[in-house]
Structure 1
């Protein structure tokens, strides 16, 4: 296929520039006028597909950072079963996330929450003039991250940056450049790794593991692999993987662990066990722990510096490239995933 995946490839590789542009725009947002998380009993992050997985990451990362009670709920669940999530006696802050701002379920969810008297909302989107953005007085808009391709890549990571600033916007002025430089270094160093594993026709099963906030990122990596390449891919919490799912592991598997910054030995033990079952094993984690992972097939070290929760965007670009390379190897066009459209719009 001539020029297959050209848009997706450009969008993945443009993140070094787009992150700087997005952070520059975020720096001009008046977060002082936004609802304050500490004023609410719970914060509900909501979205669909990729942005639901972004919500999973955001809820855990935000609660870990602030101590605020946070939940992640698919937008469809929020408007179909509101009683399961909204407690009338509790003050709720809704954070609605949508690349397009036109996703029907997320619009319905926020409208329903507004009608039920939810106390406040924040919208994170790449389209400042979208319908969803018009439903809230607090909007983080990231137009530089808009995409031509269907699968979310730079929009996802840029919206992660936007969400991170909801809880704190007191980051060093040098952060955008340093974060961009770190990404550029990782992509240049590990691009061939993504290509090698993506093209390896012995691998037919991909498993992505993560704990805490990184479980949401593992889910997003799984979705990218499924969307772009139509490959068998699953995501699990690290230790949950032993409770049944590891029965699918064999010599045709690749297990990828998104490691905790504190290097939890129980996570590492899971990867050792999967290697013992014949799987190829890759880990992505802090650079200072590189010596601990020599017995695995591959380790991608990341220098998280003092990026705090912002630094977790660095887990994803190589995994996006892995899905891209697998798509091409399978004869698929990453720009046009099977059966999918950029926006899901439901009939009234």
Structure 2
């Protein structure tokens, strides 16, 4: 069993542990009326998009998401939240150092004594969700679960539901698919982007991600017999029919979107293994990008 597989399968227990931190997460992430910027790189940037959509939907205040690696004109924010599993990503550190004095800074990280943790005002420490694998799985899902709890959503049943779903067969023959597409809407679009990244990283597979209803606007042209189009969260019956007409396989959600993301992670591992690849150590990648 790969490290990545063990880490994916550990998510129900990790999520249960995370829910004990809900009061701390509420204190740091859910201050009503604050204008917030949330930043990250790679997986963390996609999760930042989901977080921003969830926070605004909870009517807690304007929330923007941005890539830490893409400097932008500063706007007036009350707080900046930086997501960094390792706490060592150079672009995240540089972005935090550029935050004006007086703006509250918060790190969401898996490493307590990391450079990112040391330069912020507050830390939401998820060290119990940290991972050995280069490929992130349980750290981002744990943060999103905790954010949803902090924003007032009852997610207490998700650990047990995830355990049941992860025990089921995937229902897709991994070796038969050559093209993977993930679609999301609202906060799940960030999850769709993350799902597509996972299978690129772990399995060197051709993958794409789009907002659900935008898929008709061009990308549908490359769907075909070897395509799997996975709708994470909200579905659309008319779009599903249009996709099936291309010969592609359509998969719609039967679980909570976070559980669907965990299942896409399992798919990425299955595809990697069918191709003789090690999902723990993707080529050209390291656990953290540290620039000289």
User: TM-score if structure 1 supplies the norm length?
Assistant: 0.79
TM-superposed CA distance for 1:274, in Å, is 0.5
TM-superposed CA distance for 1:28, in Å, is 6.2
Residue of structure 2 equivalent to 1:216:
190
1:1-348 alignment runs, 5 A limit: 6-24=2-20, 26-27=21-22, 29=24, 31-32=26-27, 34=28, 37-40=31-34, 42-66=35-59, 68-77=61-70, 80-81=71-72, 83=73, 86-87=74-75, 90-113=76-99, 116-117=100-101, 119-168=103-152, 175=156, 178-189=157-168, 191-193=169-171, 196-200=172-176, 203-260=177-234, 267-284=236-253, 301-302=254-255, 312-347=257-292
Q: Distance in 1 between matches of 2:188 and 2:250?
A: 17
Q: 1:133-167 CA distances to partner (integer Å, 9 max, x unpaired)? A: 12222211111111111100011111213333554
Q: Distance in 2 between matches of 1:35 and 1:236?
A: 27
Larger Rg: 1
Q: Distance in 2 between matches of 1:59 and 1:192?
A: 30
TM-superposed CA distance for 1:313, in Å, is 2.1
CA RMSD of aligned residues (A): 2.0
Mark the CA change 1:122 to 1:279 in structure 2 (over 3 Å): closer, same or farther: same
Q: Distance in 2 between matches of 1:67 and 1:17?
A: 29
User: TM-score if structure 2 supplies the norm length?
Assistant: 0.93
What count of residue pairs does the alignment treat as equivalent? 292
Q: Distance in 2 between matches of 1:47 and 1:57?
A: 12
Mark the CA change 1:273 to 1:141 in structure 2 (over 3 Å): closer, same or farther: same
| Contact kept? 1:91, 1:118, Cα under 8 Å | no
Structure 1's unaligned 5+ residue stretches are 285-300, 305-311
TM-superposed CA distance for 1:210, in Å, is 0.7
Runs of 4+ in 1 over 6 A off after TM superposition: none
Q: Distance in 1 between matches of 2:50 and 2:122?
A: 21
Q: 1:161-208 CA distances to partner (integer Å, 9 max, x unpaired)? A: 33335544x858xx2xx322111111122x342xx33232xx211110
Mark the CA change 1:239 to 1:107 in structure 2 (over 3 Å): closer, same or farther: same
| Contact kept? 1:209, 1:258, Cα under 8 Å | yes
| Contact kept? 2:25, 2:150, Cα under 8 Å | no
Q: 1:32-75 CA distances to partner (integer Å, 9 max, x unpaired)? A: 4x4764343x3111100000000011111111122521111000
Structure 2's unaligned 5+ residue stretches are none
